[in-house]
Each structure stands twice: as structure tokens, then as C-alpha cells.
Amino acid sequence: MIKNNKQNLCFAAISLFSGSGIGDIGFKASGADFLLMNELLVDRAQLLAINFPTASIVTGDVWECTDQIIETTLRKTESLGMPLFLVSCTAPCQGMSKSGQGTLLKNIRAGKRPKFDIRNRLILPALKIIKTLRPEFVIFENVCEMRNTIIEDDDGQYRLILDIISEKLGKEYVGSSYDVEMADYGIPQRRKRLITAFTRNELAIKYYEKGVELIPETTHSNNPRLDKLPWVSVSETLKEFPPLDAKSFKTSNCESIPFHRVPVLDPKKYEWIRHTAINSSAFDNQCISSKCCFQGNSAHGAKRNGAGINQAKKDTPLYCQKCGSLLPRPYVKMKDGTLRIMSGYTSAYKRMDPNLPCPTLTRNMSFPCSDHKVHFSENRVLSLAEAFCLHTLSDYDYKWGPICDGKSRIRDFAADTTIRESIGESIPPKFLEMLGNHLVKLSKEDSQFYCGGRQLQLLDLSLV
């Protein structure tokens, strides 16, 4: 570790599969000086260059850029005279996530793609980079399904990805994988991720062998005790935002707050959402006929078919089972003019619970038909400005522009699609700032930790 010009401790780091650097901005706040960042997509790499101006941005496929990443990092660490402290690795998760696996399974059965997603093998060149650079700490962040993900290794054998990571890193590194709920760290979003942490730092290993985890202790809980705070709710987080309504352009925009705007809904979708109760789906809406108002119509649901695939019910009633009037439920119009219930899961067109952290912010957060995306009290989805708060990005000096093509400025900010996808693909930076601070603490002799309610003192390796 060295001191920067502001006399704050900083440490050398590189980031692989960096996305737009939203998570890494948290590591930066904890002291990370990113020497290099690697990203495949140009629009994400443009944002990296804006927010990490001193980092070497390597844009391209990690398979093809492996040597460049290694050589550039070695040259920079030698020039700075500082060891590489951290490698942050966030390989693509689409082939591992629940939705990705479901799509994969469907396509496999249709004979449309190979059995194993090639994106999951991107961990292999990353491990070559890590093994060569030998950082003191390695953090892999991915979906929890990574635990059960199988890939083809360098020898053509199909094995669990976590076993391959452990084997490639070798006995020099120790570590564990942790299922982390972001809401347990005071983040107003329920987002579960698998954090796999390894270290070869001698002090960190001693702490770890005495029972100190390689991730920080949780601070919040859905069932708080004396030592934990309650989860932070979506309604509490967004209480200062002016209301919006997706009925018209005029009511769906707030000119005084950048990015506080939402898509306008067509009239029928607006009606579906308008009648949707808290923590319920529009598929469960009941009769609104003034002459009937029957509230006992069959609800939506899902069940597994003969192939084991979980599918939404197709016989959910669209018309009131008592008076026959059209229910305010999602439907599609057929070629012959008839209406049928729309295909959709029980979480589609679902309104959030105001008393809980918001559901996971995904790449499709601006679409009410996506999973649990309807605002808890207003007839709309979340605005991008609200998403920044719920993702804790608003706590940091992150810039969305200007976007340039060479020396020419082409737009003030990144496209909304890029912004939405960047958030959906990333981890809340607040957690990574806490994690970065924890890693620094693990590398210091005078740190204090508690195990079993007793203070751990490393100097004599005893519990006092």
C-alpha cells in the first residue's frame, strides 16, 4: 500500500469484466487505485474512461487481451513500486442466473445451442491472469447459482466452476464463497449475490484461520436483533422524490431532478397497474364493474409441467367469474379479435411492498411486465434517479457523460438503455466499499476483530 497525494491510504487493483465500473466505484472509495480495467462492450468502456481516468482501459474479449492485461499491469506495478493488492472479477452471469438457465434449458431442448454456456468459461482466462499477477486478494462476484455451475476446463473435463477456481489458485490462496443478501448491509435493495473471496496475504490468512470471514459482518436484518438494524425500506429511501405518473408525458417527468422520469404507459397497461394492490400482481386484479365488484375471481399462479419447467397458468380467468365483465388483467388481442390472458409469471406487473427493500434492480427495471417492477404507491415503474438511490450509486461521484467519439462530443449522457443495463449488471457500490475496507483491515496488524463475542488479538494469536 502507498499514500496518494491526498495522504489517504490507497492500494493497487485491477478489474476484469468491469461493466461500467459501478461496483468498482465502491472499491475506489475504499482506497483502490485501479491500474487497469477490462470490458468487452464499448459503451461500458466509455463510462470506465470517464470515471476512472487514470486506469488503462482494455476494451475487448478477455481471451484475446490476456497478455496485454498481464503485461500492462506488471509494468504499472513495477513503475509505481507497489504490489497488486486486489483483482476484482465479475464474469458475465447470464449463463448462471435462474433466468439464464431457464432460457438455456429451453433452447437446449429445442436443439438451438450447446449444453454448456460458453460465457461461463470466461473464468479460465481470468484465472490465468490472476495466477500470473498473484494479487494479495481476489474477489469473484456472481449470482448464487455459480455454486452449481459446471464448465469445461482446460483439459476438456466438465467440473464445478468453484472447484476449478480453487485448484487453479493453488495452496497459496485460502478462501470461501459467501451467499450475500445486499439488504443485510443497509442497502435498500434485496439482491442476493455469491461473493467468493481468496487471499494469500499472511495476516489475512491468520485472521481467517482464527475464524474471521473474508467479507464484512452484516449490519442489518429482516428480523433485527439487538446487534442488527432493520432493513432499509424502499418507501423510506424514496420519500423525498416528487411523485410521477405514467399516464402522460407531462406527469411522467420531473424537470428539476435529472433522470427522474419514467416511460409513459399505454392506456390498457395503465389501467392494469392502477388497480394493482401492494405486493400483488395485475394478474390477480378483481372485478371493477360498479354493478358487481366480485373479489373472488381465481388468482394467477404457476406450476411445473411434465418436463420440470415452471410455467405460469394459462387458464387464469380474464373475465369476471360472476358477472362476465373484463377484468383489469394483462391480456393480448388475438387475430380474430378475441382476448386471452397474457403469458406471464406471478411476479409480472407486480407492485412493490413499501415496507421492504426494493426487489432486485435488473436490466429490465423500466418494464412493468418484468419481475416485481411496479412502484409501491404510484402508477409507474421506478425512475433512473430512484434506481441510483436504491443501488447506492447516488452516494458516489459517478458520471454518466459526456459521451465522446474520439475528440467529438456526441451526447451529454449515456443512453437510458446503457444506464439501465449497467445498473442491472452491477453490484451496489456501498457493499464493495465495505468489502474493500474489510480487506484493508485484514492486511493490518493492529486491526481488531471479534469472534464468538471475544476480541481477537493477532499479535500473540490468542483470544482475549
Quick: pLDDT tens for 414-432: 999 999 999 999 999 999 9
pLDDT of residue 464: 45
Question: Domain 2-231+428-463 in CATH: superfamily?
Answer: Vaccinia Virus protein VP39 (3.40.50.150)
Instruction: Tell me the pTM.
Output: 0.90
Q: What is the mean pLDDT of residues 92-114?
A: 55
- Higher-pLDDT residue of 114, 72: 72
Band (3; pLDDT cuts 50, 70, 90) = very low
pLDDT of residue 305: 61
- Is the pLDDT at 106 greater than 80? The verdict is no
- Is the pLDDT at 302 greater than 80? The verdict is no
Lowest-pLDDT choice from 26-35, 147-156, 160-169: 147-156
CA 209 to chain CA mean position, Å: 30
- Is the pLDDT at 307 greater than 90? The verdict is no
Quick: pLDDT tens for 258-286: 999 999 999 999 999 999 999 999 999 99
Band (89; pLDDT cuts 50, 70, 90) = very high
Quick: pLDDT tens for 334-358: 999 999 999 888 889 999 999 999 9
Three-class SS of the chain: CEECCCCCEEEEEEEECCCCCCCHHHHHHCCEEEEEEEECCHHHHHHHHHHCCCCEEEECCHHHHHHHHHHHHHHHHHHHCCCEEEEEECCCCCCCCHHHHHHHHHHHHCCCCCCCCHHHHHHHHHHHHHHHHCCCEEEEEECHHHHHCEEECCCCCEEEHHHHHHHHHCCCCEEEEEEEEHHHHCCCECCEEEEEEEECCHHHHHHHHCCCCCCCCCCEECCCCCCCEECCCHHHHCCCCCCCCCCCCCCCECCCCCCCECCCCCHHHHHHHHCCCECCEHHHCCCCCCCCCCCCCCCCCEEECCCCCEEECCCCCCECCCCCCECCCCEEECCCCCEEECCCCCCECEECCCCCCECCCCCCCCCCCCECCECCCCCCECCHHHHHHHCCHHHCCCCCCCEEECCEEEECCCCHHHHHHHHHCCCCHHHHHHHHHHHHHHCCCCCCEEECCEEEECCCCEEC
**Domain extent listing, the chain:** 2-231+428-463
- Is the pLDDT at 399 greater than 60? The verdict is yes
pLDDT of residue 410: 79
CA 425 to chain CA mean position, Å: 5
